[in-house]
Structure 1
Amino acid sequence: MWSCSNEDEWERFLIPFKKGQTKGNVILVTTRIPQLAQMVKTTGQYIDLKGLDPENFTKLFFAWVFGDEQPQNHHSGLLDIGNQIKEKLKGSPLAAKTVGRLLRSYIDLGHWTRVLESKEWEFQNGENDIMPALKLSFDYLPFQLQQCFIYCGCFLKITNLVKKS
């Protein structure tokens, strides 16, 4: 879940599940927002999944960047920049995949430096925030794909408006 403004909204979401049966329905909620997890939990606990440990995260990130190939000797400058970018990804496998594929598109020092020095990182708040990494992947899409992405994003907003009326 990316957002749920209050407990009433959550309760409205649950109504169809409560009407038909009293037992047998299970909803597994995943979120990066601890306050949201606390609000929607129905049992006495929730499981706080941390990001990958640094060693495995590094392997995953560079696997997305270089694929099955090992970095070449002339990639040492890239690896230094890649390690700095990796620190901004908060151990998130989704961020590793997204930014790793972005870096893979141009195995070039200039491209990687632009990603590292992007203003998007300044908007990162909180230890679990990976939105700047996801926004970067959008920023580097070709223009026509950005337009398509924006167009498709409109439907969710329209759907939400219809549900609220």
Structure 2
Amino acid sequence: MQLLEENSWSIFAKYAFHDRDARSKPDHFKEIGMKIVIECKGLPLALKAIGSLLYTKSSFEEWTSVLMSEKWDMSNKESDIFSAWGLSYYYLPSIIKRGFDYCSVFPKGSKFAGSI
């Protein structure tokens, strides 16, 4: 389900600003944020992931770097969300990336001991 731009901004702002008023940020953060919202194509999960990522970025240069990333151009026939996920992964601390990398060696649908 794709959201309208107004609803997309609400979700993005909730995570990017953690329920603080977006008006507390300089206007150029909101301008970049709106462009990022458009890149997320109304996909709620992408908006949440990228908004959460940007909450940890305090400089305008970091926000611009996310917007200008080539990761947005990743295309997947199954879903547009993978470009947002790839971008989120790219900015994770290396210690967390290792956990994702470890889990990726298991085939889809693998069962682990103790799982139902």
Residue 142 of structure 1: how far off its partner (Å): 0.6
Residue 158 of structure 1: how far off its partner (Å): 8.9
Amino acid at match of 1:53: L
Is the 8 Å Cα contact of residues 124 and 130 (structure 1) preserved in structure 2? no
TM-score of the aligned structures, taking structure 1 as reference length: 0.61
Task: Give the length in aligned residue pairs.
Answer: 110
1:130 to 81, 88, 92: 81
1:120 to 71, 95, 101: 71
Structure 1 residues 68 and 133 mapped into 2: Cα distance closer, same or farther (>3 Å)?
same
Residue number in structure 2 paired with 1:61: 12
> Where in structure 1 are there 5+ consecutive unaligned residues?
1-49, 161-165
Structure 1 residues 125 and 156 mapped into 2: Cα distance closer, same or farther (>3 Å)?
closer
Residue 121 of structure 1: how far off its partner (Å): 1.2
Runs of at least 4 residues of structure 1 off by over 4 A?
none
RMSD: 2.1
> Where in structure 2 are there 5+ consecutive unaligned residues?
112-116
| 1:91-119 CA distance string (max 9 Å, x none) | 11100110000000113201101101101
Distance of 1:157 and 1:98 partners within structure 2? 22
Residue number in structure 1 paired with 2:55: 104
TM-score of the aligned structures, taking structure 2 as reference length: 0.84
Residue number in structure 2 paired with 1:150: 101
Residue number in structure 1 paired with 2:40: 89
Distance of 2:101 and 2:108 partners within structure 1? 11
Structure 1 residues 158 and 135 mapped into 2: Cα distance closer, same or farther (>3 Å)?
same
Identity within the alignment, %? 35
- Structure with the bigger RCO (C-alpha within 8 Å, sep 6+) is 2
Distance of 1:75 and 1:156 partners within structure 2? 45
